[in-house]
Chain A
Amino acid sequence: MSAAIVAQHVRRTSLAQRYPGILMGSLGVLAVVLSFYSLSVGATDVSMTDVFNAVIGNTGDQAAQIVVQFQLPRVLLAWLVGIALGVSGAVMQGVIRNPLAAPDVVGVTKGAGFAGMLLLLAIPGMPVVAVVPAAFAGGLAAAALVYLLAYRRGATPVRIALVGIAVSAAFEAGIRFLLVRNPLDVSAALIWLTGSLFGRSMSSVLEILPWVLVLVPLIVVWSRRLDVLGLGDDLAAGLGEPVERTRRLLLLFAVALAAAAVAVSGTIGFVGLIAPHMARRVFGGKHVASIPAAALFGVLLMIFADMLGRGLAPPLEIPAGLVTAVVGGPYFLYLLVKTGK
């Protein structure tokens, strides 16, 4: 009997942590299946046969053309934005050692949104490609501001979260102000800002693709460095890691990914917070597993949110950002309470 108690008491690494490949593969398959299904959901009636036809290149009839022209870019974008936000959040949580860190919590999302909007309104007809650098600068500035305001001999997790909320609110106010001041030019900006995948075309996909293709593999390659940073500054330096340099570079990558996501899909909240959390819960703290897992959870959340927004009340479109906020808000509060204790 006592042996049974001991066996129960001694917690060992979970199956998912020892065989991450199998579970990760299943998640990937689930995401692909869900993507195919989501191609058929929406205002127009498209059957799975049409989807199949479209995907194999048989784009003869109208339904298949709808799939290729309208649905496919959205689903691809859901993948890329989900990956970007999930990985960005995972890196921030790892580097700042803060379970509440995420692109939207530390102000990056709204900062990027504000800067992007400023550019769109200042120079009408600006292509979205140019929004990415502006969003990047805005996101970086917001993150720096939050860190400076939260810093008092180190910055505690809850402090960063609270200051982040305040700074985000200020940028949100700035965005509203721009909208009110420029009522005639806002339509493009508004579409961009709602945090939706509605009406995005293949060009949006191509705008975010290089960022994801370059930065995500780089971060995965650096995953052990992220693990080492988690051991504390002194031990990490003792293990030969140039702590400050690595930290700054990784944060830069994370802000860039989040800014690229904001530039193509507007401000979609909470994906960058929740996806890394789910990933760590299931796959443990090693970043070589939890970073790809955060990407996959991000994809699942985005596809789910976009599909729900399209399918709940067609032809009405509920922005994906609204869906993620409804799901993510309570989850964030739960984390805040848990971390604050």
Chain B
Amino acid sequence: MRLQAQGVQLAYDQRVIARDLTLTIPDGKVSVLIGPNGSGKSTALRALARLLPPQQGSVILDGKSIQETPTKEVARLLAILPQVLVTPESISVEDLVWFGRHPHRASLKVPSAADKEAVEWAMEVTSTAELRHQHVDQLSGGQRQRVWIALCLAQGTDLILLDEPTTYLDVAYQLEVLDLLHQLNQEQGKTVAMVLHDFNMAAEYADHVFVMRSGSLVTQGTPEDVFTCDIIRDVFGVESKVVPHPVSGKPMCIPLRAGLRTQLAVAAG
């Protein structure tokens, strides 16, 4: 396994978010970190991407401590798409995707054939090539997110981490983005690890799920393993009914309102 956190303690200044957190991102799979607000899932992802140095323990990438690996070298092995993205003013799609080549290019060097190829490929796979001359701020939410993913792909890494790539998107765009990530995993063999909010989306797309609560890992496994009524209640504080998805057969959690909860309790005797 290429990327793992070993007993890390994570904190912003004095505020400790996670203690003794250990997790291993499975290679070649789509894994999802899920948990309520403040459970430390984004913080954990930032540590895995070398954006936040652990106070204790270490994050290991390819057998080496990630903090002791130069940032440029890490950027050639692992791409991270943060949650908050700043679009530079009046920038074209193609120019934005080119940023993905930054870790591979020295300051004065002219772009190599490999650079051009990587950028073209990234735009091709994400279906953003025909948008190349358009301004990024003119695109739809789904298109824009695909462009950001193209930037990460242009980095040419096998590991891609994404922090809530579907937040603030309409449901059609959420599917557009998650379908793309699924396809990248299936066809290109990319390892995808992301933070998601919606457990049904997570169940539908994840091979492996990490469930977090107040800075620690509650459980992990396939969606079938982790999405049970008990765990949903424990972690999210919600009564729910878990049923198989009528089409995919994946677990589906349906939260229950107050009236239905009593009804369910009475029925259960």
A→B interface (CB under 8 Å): 9-13, 17, 97, 221-222, 224-225, 227-228, 230-232, 234-235, 237-242, 280, 284-286
Contacts and interface: CB of A to CB of B under 8 A. Distances in A.
Interface of B: 46, 49-51, 71-76, 79-82, 84-86, 88-92, 95, 99-100, 102-103, 105, 107-108, 133-135, 138, 155
A239 B107 contact: no
8 contacts: A228-B102, A230-B88, A231-B86, A237-B71, A238-B81, A239-B103, A240-B76, A285-B91
Given A228-B99, A230-B86, A285-B89, A238 B133 contact: no
A241 B72 CA distance: 7
Contacts of B102: 224, 228, 239-241
B75 A239 contact: yes
Contact of A237 (B50, B76, B91, B95): B50
A234 B71 CA distance: 12
A234 B89 contact: no
A230 B74 CA distance: 20
Contacts of B51: 234, 237-238
Contacts of A242: 71
A240 B75 contact: yes
Given A230-B86, A230-B88, A286 B99 contact: no
B85 A235 contact: yes
A285 to B, nearest CB: 5
Contacts of A97: 86
A237 B88 CA distance: 16
A339 B53 CA distance: 35
A13 B92 contact: yes
A232 B85 CA distance: 7
Contacts of B91: 284-286
A238 B46 CA distance: 10
A227 B99 contact: yes
Contacts, number: 84
A241 B107 contact: no
Which of A12, A222, A234 has the most chain B CB within a 10 Å cutoff?
A234
A325 B74 CA distance: 48
Contact of B80 (A11, A222, A234, A286): A234
A90 to B, nearest CB: 14
Given A224-B102, A237-B50, A239-B99, 19 more contacts: A10-B134, A11-B138, A12-B133, A13-B90, A13-B92, A225-B107, A228-B102, A230-B86, A231-B86, A231-B88, A232-B86, A235-B82, A239-B100, A239-B103, A240-B73, A240-B74, A241-B71, A280-B89, A285-B88
A283 to B, nearest CB: 10
B90 A224 contact: no
Contacts of A284: 90-91
Contacts of B85: 231-232, 235
B166 to A, nearest CB: 17
Contact of A235 (B71, B81, B108): B81
B92 A238 contact: no
A286 B98 CA distance: 12
Contacts of B92: 12-13
A106 to B, nearest CB: 21
A12 B107 contact: no
Nearest to A97: B86
B84 A238 contact: no
B82 A12 contact: no
Contacts of B72: 240-241
A13 B135 CA distance: 7
Nearest to A237: B51
Contacts of B84: 232, 234
Contacts of A234: 46, 51, 80, 82, 84
Contacts of B103: 239-240
Contacts of B105: 224
Contacts of B79: 238
A247 B76 CA distance: 22
Lowest 3 A-B CB distances belong to which pairs? A240-B75, A240-B103, A240-B72
A285 B85 CA distance: 16
B138 A10 contact: yes
Given A224-B102, A227-B88, A228-B99, A238 B76 contact: no
A184 to B, nearest CB: 52
B88 A238 contact: no
Contacts of B49: 238
Contact of A221 (B74, B89, B95, B107): B107
A232 B81 CA distance: 11
Contacts of B90: 13, 17, 284-285
A200 B86 CA distance: 44
A222 B99 contact: no
A224 B96 CA distance: 12
Contacts of B71: 237, 240-242
Nearest to B100: A239
A231 B99 contact: yes
Contacts of B134: 10-12
B102 to A, nearest CB: 5
A222 B72 CA distance: 15
Contacts of A225: 107
A284 B133 CA distance: 14
Contacts of A241: 71-72, 102
Contacts of B155: 239
A298 B170 CA distance: 45
